[in-house]
């Protein structure tokens, strides 16, 4: 890895990243501390609100299209993370897409195991629809566990007969809580952020004894037909890479449009480091253009 910025980033992640093998309280404190170090553009305005009964943070900016919305589901392995911690990334994606972003504070495990997060995601989307925003002017986005939640919510909404959003962006999605992908082992040495033991620990908290392949928690195993177009952006240096590659195969088999982008050398949710990584900025800009195009039909 010749890039000095990447070398510095990987070293920092290995030294200061959260330990998902730890107890929830410890992991939450560590992950929250990491998120606090990520700068947020002062051009954004943030408002705390509720979407239905679900807390959320709205990110707006000058020139934002008021007729649309990006609904964002944060990462953190279903146990850590917050809308506040991810407000900057949600805002950047909203600005790239041209619409306000709404980061959702869905309930976390182990206090609220699966399917609490899915219930909150669905409720937040329905609140946007009730506010008068049409589904074709809404896009979903999420990273890591939030990427899995994005897909699980789409499946639930389809099953409920709710009109679906125009498209969805999945960033480094965690889609298989059974952790059976090949790259769980083959990319372990390359990944500076995640470990197999950490993922399995968080999965146990979220699933709370339920089948780890339950589609509400592991949407890789769901029926993926009838979903809106999916854009998946994932790094080549992450143990969850095979979640994305398997999703591309399963979605294609189900006749669902999917664009899989594998970014060489990039770590898990590299978009969060847009302030230092040119590749992250490029990925956000590409995603914004793609989502906007879907909203415009």
Tell me what pLDDT residue 63 has.
Answer: 93
Q: What number is the average pLDDT over the span 132-154?
A: 98
Using DSSP's 3-state secondary structure scheme, residue 89 falls into helix
The pLDDT confidence band at residue 40, using thresholds 50, 70 and 90, is: very high
Write the class of the CATH domain 4-295.
alpha beta
Tell me, yes or no, if 268 is annotated catalytic.
yes
d(CA 295, CA 68) in angstroms, rounded, equals 8
Tell me, yes or no, if 193 is annotated catalytic.
no
Q: Is the dihedral of CA 169, 171, 176, 182 positive or negative?
A: positive
Residue of 74, 268, 271, 274 marked catalytic? 268
Torsion of CA 280, 90, 25, 186, to 10 degrees: -30
- Note the pLDDT tens digit of each residue in 180-232: 999 999 999 999 999 999 999 999 999 999 999 999 999 999 999 999 999 99
Distance of alpha carbon 278 from the chain centroid: 20
Residue of 238, 242, 244, 274 marked catalytic? 238
Instruction: Tell me whether the omega of the peptide bond preceding residue 115 falls within 30 degrees of 0, making it cis.
Output: yes
Distance of alpha carbon 5 from the chain centroid: 24
Q: What number is the average pLDDT over the span 141-170?
A: 98
d(CA 229, CA 88) in angstroms, rounded, equals 25
d(CA 173, CA 169) in angstroms, rounded, equals 9
- Closest to 243 (Cα-Cα) out of 154, 148, 149: 148
Q: What number is the average pLDDT over the span 41-45?
A: 97
The pLDDT confidence band at residue 1, using thresholds 50, 70 and 90, is: very low
Tell me, yes or no, if 197 is annotated catalytic.
no
Whether residue 2 has pLDDT greater than 70:
no
Tell me what pLDDT residue 297 has.
Answer: 80
Residue of 60, 144, 212, 218 marked catalytic? 144
Domain ranges in the chain?
4-295
Q: How would you classify residue 52: left for phi > 0, otherwise alpha for psi between -120 and 50, otherwise beta?
A: left
Instruction: Tell me whether the omega of the peptide bond preceding residue 110 falls within 30 degrees of 0, making it cis.
Output: yes
The whole-model pTM stands at 0.98
pLDDT averaged over every residue in the chain: 97
Q: What number is the average pLDDT over the span 7-30?
A: 96
Longest dimension (CA), the chain: 50
């Amino acid at each position: 890895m010749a890039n000095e910025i990447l070398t510095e980033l990987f070293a920092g992640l290995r030294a200061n990243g959260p330990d998902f093998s730890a107890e929830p309280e410890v992991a939450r404190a560590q992950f929250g501390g990491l998120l606090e170090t990520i700068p947020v553009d002062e051009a954004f305005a943030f408002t705390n609100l509720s979407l239905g009964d679900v807390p959320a943070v709205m990110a707006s900016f000058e020139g934002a299209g008021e007729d649309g919305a990006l609904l964002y589901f944060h990462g953190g392995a279903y146990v850590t993370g917050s809308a506040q911690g991810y407000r900057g990334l949600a805002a950047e994606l909203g600005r790239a897409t041209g619409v306000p972003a709404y980061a959702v504070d869905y309930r976390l495990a182990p206090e609220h195991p699966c399917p609490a997060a899915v219930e909150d995601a669905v409720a937040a989307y329905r609140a946007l629809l009730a506010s008068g925003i049409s589904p074709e002017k809404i896009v979903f986005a999420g990273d890591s566990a939030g990427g899995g939640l994005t897909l699980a919510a789409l499946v639930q909404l389809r099953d409920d007969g709710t009109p679906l959003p125009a498209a969805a962006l999945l960033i480094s999605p965690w889609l298989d809580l059974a952790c059976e992908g090949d790259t769980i082992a083959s990319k372990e040495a390359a990944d500076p952020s995640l470990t197999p033991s950490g993922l399995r620990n968080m999965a146990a908290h979220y699933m709370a004894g339920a089948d780890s392949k339950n589609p509400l928690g592991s949407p890789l195993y769901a029926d993926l037909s009838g979903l809106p177009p999916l854009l998946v952006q994932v790094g080549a240096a992450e143990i969850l890479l095979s979640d994305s590659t398997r999703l591309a195969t399963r979605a294609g088999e189900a006749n669902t449009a999917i664009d899989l982008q594998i970014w060489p050398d990039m770590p898990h949710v590299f978009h969060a480091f847009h302030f230092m990584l040119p590749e992250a900025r490029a990925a956000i800009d590409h995603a914004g253009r793609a989502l906007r195009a879907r909203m415009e039909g």
